[in-house]
Structure 1
Amino acid sequence: MKLLKPLLLFLVINFGGLAFGSWLMDNGPQSNWYTNLNQAPWTPPGWVFGVAWTTIMICFSVYLVYLFQKADSVKLRLAFTFQVFLNVIWNYVFFNQHQIALGLVVISALTVVIFTFFFSNLKVIKNVSYLLLPYMVWLLIATSLNAYILFNN
């Protein structure tokens, strides 16, 4: 019960960030602009994105509950806030503003932040850290998709 409130808080923040990011997308993956881009051959079908982000945000929220329980600090709160900002703003930069290069910078920064979360807290929460693996793998895929579009359009 002690972990339920923080879990609900992180689920609301993380899924709220996804919802806000989706709202900023301006039709996102269904837009004419995006569908007409030369996309990477390994671009997954659209339904995979929803499944991936749902899984990622559930795992990330559980991870955050344990991390904040063991290592709450101003630095950690700022890193988490920065992660939320980068995750939300990428949608706007890439899909709404069509700024592919800046999108690559944003998603690369997000990737660095999440990998930093993993490696800097691995000893703090040990096996719970592996809940970040879906997020890390997805960001590597997403970064490669963004890079492919940048360099092949």
Structure 2
Amino acid sequence: MKFVKPFLLFLIINFSALGIGSLLMAEGPRGSWYLQLEKAPWTPEGWVFGAAWTTIMICFSIYMALLYLKRPTNKVMSLFIIQFIINISWNFLFFNQKLIDVALISIVRLTIIVTAFLITYFKDLKWKSLLITPYVVWLCIATSLNLYISLYN
């Protein structure tokens, strides 16, 4: 029961980030600007993004609830808030403002922060740290997609 409350709270916050990010991306991946970009050959189909982010946010919510119960510190919450803001801002920077290079810097920072969670708190969560690996892997893929677009457009 101790786990359920923080898990639900992180779940709500994480899915709110996805929702806010979607609202901030204007036409997003369906817009003519994005459709006309030269995209990486390994760009997944559109449905993969939704499935990936749903899985990532569920796993990340479990991870954050476990970490918060283990280390309820300002550092943990500060990293989480920074991650939240950067995650949302990428959508705005890339899709809404079409600032591909600035978005690339943003997603690299997000990747560093999420990886910092994995490395910094591995001793605390041990094998449970695997819950954050889908987020790290997906950010590496997303960063490569953003980099490709940055280089070829």
* Shorter-chain TM-score range: over 0.9
**Regions of 4+ moved over 3 Å:** none
> What CA distance in whole angstroms lies between the structure 2 residues aligned with 1:97 and 1:141?
22
The residue that corresponds to 1:81 in the other structure is: 81
The residue that corresponds to 1:37 in the other structure is: 37
1:143 and 2:137 correspond? no
> What CA distance in whole angstroms lies between the structure 2 residues aligned with 1:96 and 1:9?
28
What are the superposed Cα offsets for residues 9-49 of structure 1, whole Å, 9 maximum, x if unpaired?
A: 00000000100000000011001000000000000000000
Does the residue aligned with 1:43 lie in a helix, a strand or coil? coil
Q: Please list every run of 5 or more consecutive structure 2 residues that lacks an aligned counterpart in the other structure.
A: none
Q: Displacement of 1:149 after TM fit?
A: 0.2
The residue that corresponds to 2:8 in the other structure is: 8
Q: Please list every run of 5 or more consecutive structure 1 residues that lacks an aligned counterpart in the other structure.
A: none
Instruction: Give TM-score, length-normalised by structure 2.
Output: 0.99
Q: Displacement of 1:92 after TM fit?
A: 0.1
> What CA distance in whole angstroms lies between the structure 1 residues aligned with 2:131 and 2:4?
17
Q: Percent identity?
A: 51
The residue that corresponds to 1:27 in the other structure is: 27
Equivalenced residues, count: 153
Q: Displacement of 1:75 after TM fit?
A: 1.1
Instruction: Give TM-score, length-normalised by structure 1.
Output: 0.99
What are the superposed Cα offsets for residues 46-104 of structure 1, whole Å, 9 maximum, x if unpaired?
A: 00000000000000000001101111111111110000000000000000000000000
The residue that corresponds to 2:126 in the other structure is: 126
RMSD over aligned Cα atoms: 0.5
Q: Which amino acid aligns with 1:3?
A: F
Q: Which amino acid aligns with 1:111?
A: T
> What CA distance in whole angstroms lies between the structure 1 residues aligned with 2:23 and 2:69?
32
Q: Displacement of 1:128 after TM fit?
A: 0.8
* Larger deviation, residues 67-76 vs 89-98: 67-76
> What CA distance in whole angstroms lies between the structure 1 residues aligned with 2:33 and 2:122?
40
